[in-house]
Chains A and B, each alone.
Chain A
Amino acid sequence: MFGLFGRKRSKDHVKERLKLVLSYDRAKLSPGRMEQLKQELMGVIVKYFPAAESDYDVKLEQSGDRMVFTANLPLRQADA
């Protein structure tokens, strides 16, 4: 992942960026719409899990030949 002097090689940058942008392209969803989706989902989720953390992670990923939408939602320990 890192070159001789710990510098991240530019090809690692471009590979990551491509994977991300293609996941949005393939799902026909812009990154801005994804952020909206995340906010709206949050509104629903806190109704059921008041302890849900607001900075949860959502992403689109290629899995075989289909796109998978994942939301990783940690709950605070005290309420779990």
Chain B
Amino acid sequence: MNARAIVVTSGKGGVGKTTTTANVGAALARQGEKVCVIDTDVGLRNLDVVMGLEGRVVFDLIDVFEGRCRLRQALVKDKRVDTLHLLPASQTNDKSALSEDRMKETVRRLTEEEGFDRVLIDSPAGIESGFQTAASAADGALVVVNPEVSSVRDADRIIGLLEAREISDVRLVVNRIRPEMVKRGDMLEVEDVLEILGVKLIGIVPEDERILVSTNVGSPAALDESTRNGAGGAFRDIAKRVRGEDVPYAQLQVQGGLLTGLRRLFGGG
């Protein structure tokens, strides 16, 4: 993607925006980019805990907007990857302080003055001022969608709003795919979602319980290079595609499928 400021959004809540922001952000940084992830969910701050950085938050986005601190003071540096930074949301519900102009100015300073290669903006759920502020500073978007009816409908609405903002670099992350349900025809396939929404794909992320484990301990799954399959690897692939690499899509594995059964029978892995 040519976009340097990318909003991560979905319309519907709980589909994996924050997980996607944390993991793609961490993977981009691990791949050598200087990355800032911004939490714009004012009043419901969560990117900090998902990334395990909650203990280091001093100032937040609203403090920056209101001039209570300098931009650099509000940036929380990651413990694992030193090119990864978090700009946290405030935990008090002062949405009135949100401003598209201040958001644009903050992102401009991050890229032009602070030398960030990429800024990922984690949008709140919904289509109200929080989303609009998050989208205002972006020149690209990752739309996260789950293969279920309400998420796809909300994604369509969000895509319309992004188009209205003339954000043209819009890519789709299909999250929480369950291969065994797809196989028996009880879950939309990635191709179905693409056909319905008419947006270009950038990632397919399988449902993976290791994501919950990784958020329990505050360490993005994408940073655990020992797991090649699963969600962590899928997020690393998304980061590579954001950087313009042509990465083939991994074959989703059906757990307990024929191959696994045969291997078990012959005492293999």
Contacts and interface: CB of A to CB of B under 8 A. Distances in A.
Given A22-B196, A65-B198, A14 B153 contact: no
Nearest to B197: A22
B185 interface: yes
Given A9-B186, A10-B185, A11-B189, A25 B156 contact: yes
A12 B185 contact: yes
Interface string A5-19: 000011110110111
Contact of B192 (A10, A15, A26): A15
Contacts of B148: 14
B153 A18 contact: yes
A50 interface: no
A26 B153 CA distance: 10
A32 interface: no
Nearest to B152: A18
The range of chain A's interface size is 10 to 19
Nearest to B182: A11
A62 B156 CA distance: 13
- Which of A9, A11, A25, A26 counts the most chain B CB atoms within 10 A? A11
A17 B156 CA distance: 14
Interface string B136-167: 00000000000011001100110010000000
B188 interface: yes
Interface residues of B, number: 17
B187 interface: yes
Interface string B158-197: 0010000000000000000000001011111100100010
Interface string B210-229: 00000000000000000000
Given A11-B188, A14-B188, A15-B196, A25 B157 contact: yes
Interface in A26-52: 26
A21 interface: yes
B232 to A, nearest CB: 27
A21 B168 CA distance: 24
Contacts of B157: 25
Nearest to B192: A15
Given A14-B149, A15-B196, A65-B198, A22 B185 contact: no
Contacts of B182: 11
B196 A18 contact: yes
Interface in B42-79: none
Contacts of B186: 9-11
Interface of B: 148-149, 152-153, 156-157, 160, 182, 184-189, 192, 196, 198
14 contacts: A3-B184, A3-B185, A11-B182, A11-B188, A11-B189, A14-B148, A14-B188, A15-B192, A17-B149, A18-B149, A22-B153, A22-B196, A25-B153, A26-B160
